[in-house]
Structure 1
Amino acid sequence: MILAAGCLLWRRSPSGEGIELALVYRPKWADWSHPKGKLKRGEGAQEAAVREVLEETGMTCELGTELPTVRYLVEGRPKEVRYWAAKAIHGSFEPSREVSAIAWLPPAATRHRLTSARDRELVDALLSALRASGDLR
């Protein structure tokens, strides 16, 4: 089993209306996705999620509610990715070989930009969690 963790990174929209989510573009896979990555030896899932957000987006974050876990096959091997809602605190993006671009988009645009259907389903889970916590009004 490949173990990974990631976040649906969000911030308040600069306009003050609603929120935006961060998506990363990974040239190796030619896809737009939520920041995520494999756990390192001895690393917990929450620790890995925060590290991956920082490495892929340049942002520090505050973890919130755990979101649904996603399971799928990668080259015939099972992969499990645990996700959390994560509020962006501060930082700035620097392109790398792994992630060449980042996009901050409102939820509806996020759904359209995401490459994988399983990533789109997580957007609804995030919005429900933010409503329940009072972070989304």
Structure 2
Amino acid sequence: MPAPAAKDVLAAGVVVFRPGRRVLLVHRPKYDDWSFPKGKLDSGEHRTAAAVREVAEETGLHVRLGVPLGNQHYPVVAGRKTVFYWTGRVVGDDDVTGYRPNAEIDDVRWVPADEAAELLTYDHDRVTLAEAVRHRRATRAVVVLRHAKARARRSWRGDDRGRPLLVLGERQAERLVPLLAAYGVTRVVSSPSTRCVQTVEPYVRTTGWDLERRAWLSEEDAVPAGVAEVVADVLDDDRPAVVCTHRPVLPEVLEAFGVRAEALETAELLVLHVRKGRVVGSERHLAD
């Protein structure tokens, strides 16, 4: 009888920085080791949401994700562990002096990056730290989002602007909420078409941020100059943002951002990491 396949344990964590090249480390008394805040994904949880949740649970700090880092892979008793990592910055107060030790994490410290390399227990964490230091400068996320799954054109007899999401699309829109929150999105810009508005409405309803409707992002009204105007406005702002639009408009949007055109699935995000108005990194995620 063949041996059962080794289990791939999935986890996520963040290398969190503060000014002064200081990095956040945690100590686990069970293993007597120093590492970055991280933990296993809950069932059905997206890796980005897990990363932010684990930092909050282990340190009491709320973070937003920055540039993605290389994944870690190493053997564990159950099989093999994969840890997804990002750089990150604290949203709000980053003081950890009031942290209360517990059985899982008994110490949380801000440590200078060069000292952190000595304090970290594992070689794979030192490799991740070295990569993170190269990307430590703060960025903000601009999320380009294709709307969730909508009714087929052939089954809709009204104005196409009013074509709504399917039940599947509504579920995708709900699943987008923790993904957008993981990047600290505080500005929501969307095509006024119903299927786009419905895609971002759960996030707007959950967070209370305003919904900005921009006709230039709709299929009917998009022209290069108008799309470029919307993108320039988003780039000139300093808030993490989401821009929700349609498949035919995506090439113009991405061209305006100065990145290579990519075909996105419904409810797929292209996260652009922006520093001083320039895209310095990107990643893609599905809401499913």
Q: Output the TM-score relative to the length of structure 2.
A: 0.43
Of the structure 1 ranges 121-130 and 98-107, higher mean CA displacement relative to structure 2 is found in: 121-130
Q: Given the alignment, which residue of 7, 19, 22 partners 1:20? A: 22
Q: Gaps spanning 5+ residues in structure 1: where?
A: 13-17
Q: Deviation at 1:131?
A: 4.9
What does residue 89 of structure 2 align with?
87
> Greater relative contact order: 1 or 2 (C-alpha under 8 angstroms, separation 6 or more)?
1
Paired positions, count:
130
Q: Is residue 47 of structure 1 aligned with residue 49 of structure 2?
A: yes
Q: Which amino acid aligns with 2:13?
A: G
The CA distance in 2 between the partners of 1:131 and 1:41, in whole Å, is 33
Is contact 2:89–2:138 with CA below 8 Å preserved after alignment?
no
What does residue 12 of structure 2 align with?
5
Q: Given the alignment, which residue of 65, 68, 88 partners 1:66? A: 68
Q: Which has the higher helix share?
A: 2
Of the structure 1 ranges 42-51 and 120-129, higher mean CA displacement relative to structure 2 is found in: 120-129
Q: Given the alignment, which residue of 108, 116, 120 partners 2:126? A: 120
RMSD: 1.8
Q: Deviation at 1:94?
A: 2.5
Aligned partner of residue 59 in structure 1, secondary structure:
coil
Runs of 4+ in structure 1 displaced over 3 angstroms? 131-135
Q: Deviation at 1:109?
A: 0.2
The CA distance in 2 between the partners of 1:84 and 1:35, in whole Å, is 11
Q: Which amino acid aligns with 1:29?
A: Y
Q: Given the alignment, which residue of 78, 94, 103 partners 1:97? A: 103
The CA distance in 1 between the partners of 2:133 and 2:26, in whole Å, is 19
Q: Deviation at 1:130?
A: 2.5
The CA distance in 2 between the partners of 1:116 and 1:104, in whole Å, is 18
Of the structure 1 ranges 62-71 and 74-83, higher mean CA displacement relative to structure 2 is found in: 74-83
Q: Deviation at 1:60?
A: 0.5
Is contact 2:59–2:108 with CA below 8 Å preserved after alignment?
yes
Q: Gaps spanning 5+ residues in structure 2: where?
A: 1-7, 140-274, 277-288
Q: Which has the higher strand share?
A: 1
The CA distance in 1 between the partners of 2:64 and 2:89, in whole Å, is 5
Is contact 1:8–1:22 with CA below 8 Å preserved after alignment?
yes
Q: Deviation at 1:132?
A: 9.1
Aligned partner of residue 68 in structure 1, secondary structure:
coil
Residue identity over aligned pairs, in percent, reads: 38
Pair 1:132–1:40, CA change in 2 (3 A): closer
Pair 1:86–1:131, CA change in 2 (3 A): closer
The CA distance in 2 between the partners of 1:132 and 1:34, in whole Å, is 18
Deviation string 1:50-82 (CA, Å, 9 cap, x unpaired) is 000001111001110011100000115111000
Greater Cα radius of gyration, structure 1 or 2:
2
Aligned partner of residue 121 in structure 2, secondary structure:
coil
